[in-house]
Amino acid sequence: MTEKEKMLAGLVYDADNDPELIAERASCKDLCHDYNLLRPSNFDEQQTIIRQLFAATGNEFFITAPFWCDYGHNITIGEKFYANHNLVILDGAPVSFGANVFIGPNCGFYTAGHPLDAAQRALGIEVDAPITVGDNVWFGGGVQVLPGVTIGNNTVIGSGSVVTKDIPDGVIAVGNPCKVLREITEADIIEYFE
């Protein structure tokens, strides 16, 4: 079994010394670099690069530069996905976003986990777990989502949260570690259009 096959199977693998994975990350980082150097008004070329990087996208999406990921081919985004500046996705495992997901600035989604033992960690081994985000989710600025987390539909994750465990549908969740604060109710509807 190759190191890439181990990575995709959720097994312990050598991320730091495998030539195939190193080459894939370098290629991905080159595309991210190209993306980040485009003029902000160059929407067509931006979308072309993201479609080249990601496994799947919706028809309408926008990711504000700068943006970085490790492989790209493990990322899927739904329709009307929006991410503000400084999004980082470490995608050794699948990272899936539903439709109408809004991500504030300086957010990160990290599938990689490393050994707690320093000697093992120094070997460059890691294990990845997928991240799944439902539809209609809003992440405030500075949110960090850790490996293996699923976030339900119609949920808001408050700014600065560190999401270490699954979050259900239809709630506001905040903190470090992120915890459900309360359900979103009809009382939260603001009459923007009267």
| Catalytic residue positions, numbered | 114
Distances (CA, A) of 71 to 9, 24, 67, 68, 116: 15, 6, 13, 9, 24
CB atoms within 10 A of CB 56: 10
Number of alpha carbons in the 13 Å side-chain half-sphere of residue 5: 2
Under a CB-based contact definition with an 8 Å cutoff, are residues 132 and 17 in contact?
Answer: no
- Helix/strand/coil for 61: strand
The candidate with the shortest Cα–Cα distance to 71, out of 28, 10, 31, is 28
Q: What is the token pair recorded at 66? A: 């700068």
Task: Count CB-CB contacts under 10 A for residue 161.
Answer: 23
In angstroms, the CA 129 to CA 52 distance is 23
